[in-house]
Amino acid sequence: MNIDELSTQLAGKNPRVILKAALEQFNHIAISFSGAEDVVLIDLALNIRKDIHVFCLDTGRLHPQTYQFIEKVRKHYGIDIEILSPNRELLDTFVKEKGLFSFYEDGHTECCGIRKVEPLRRKLASLEAWITGQRKDQSIDTRQDIPEVQQDSAFSTPSHTLIKFNPLLNWTSAQVWDYIEAYQVPYNSLHQEGFVSIGCEPCTRAILPNQHERVGRWWWEESTKKECGLHAGNVTK
């Protein structure tokens, strides 16, 4: 399979077409689930095939509402959601040496690397492809130039090529929420409290009307190039 050809074929296509192609091309493929976009993907994917594989990251620092949201989605669709956890030894060593809030002093990269990137890397090593809820308008600094289909430069290795699908790439936030309302898709109750982009509890806050959604993430850091490492390939030097 030629990824460049597939990317050209799917460029600008609607999410259903991209999802259908992804699920037909690969058996070892999974949807990464954490937010509103990802539940839209689950809802769409289940209309294509019923045996979808869904996973999410439990960093140990999520809001209570997020854990409730995960359970709500599991029950609503009657699906299994694989919960990925950090390596206990790495996490214990990190917390012992740097405490629970070191990211406020030296940035979020190290903490995200242990709580998110390491368990994700373990999971992706077992997959041929993964499906994400990335959208261009989530970040004007890091997500404007990504395609609907790409080789994942952050998690591919010389012996393992990983493909990433971004079916909602060209949707706006308004389109996501129109879908959620029209099809009664479950969502995180924090969205009703002014939270838009939701991550770990210490690193996420509500935003004001008309503020960009990424303003609520790692707000103490430089406003540009905010990625936690899951989509590190988006960040250019």
Tens digits of per-residue pLDDT, 147-175? Answer: 999 999 999 999 999 999 999 999 999 99
19-33, 132-146, 222-236: range with lowest mean pLDDT:
222-236
**How high does pLDDT run on average in the chain?**
91
| Fold classified for 3-234 | Rossmann fold (3.40.50)
What is the pLDDT at residue 205? 94
Q: What is the pTM of this model?
A: 0.90
What is the pLDDT at residue 116? 96
On whether the CB atoms of residues 42 and 77 are closer than 8 A, the answer is yes
What is the pLDDT at residue 232? 56
Give bridge partners of residue 67 from the DSSP assignment: none
Position 92 pLDDT exceeds 70: yes
Position 21 pLDDT exceeds 90: yes
Going by C-alpha positions, the residue among 94, 105, 45 that lies closest to residue 73 is 45
On whether the CB atoms of residues 186 and 76 are closer than 8 A, the answer is yes
Q: Alpha-carbon distance 8 to 134, whole Å?
A: 18
What is the pLDDT at residue 139? 67
Question: Can you give the residue ranges of every domain in the chain?
Answer: 3-234
Q: Alpha-carbon distance 201 to 220, whole Å?
A: 14
Grade residue 212 by pLDDT with cuts at 50, 70 and 90: confident
Write out the catalytic residue numbers. Answer: 228
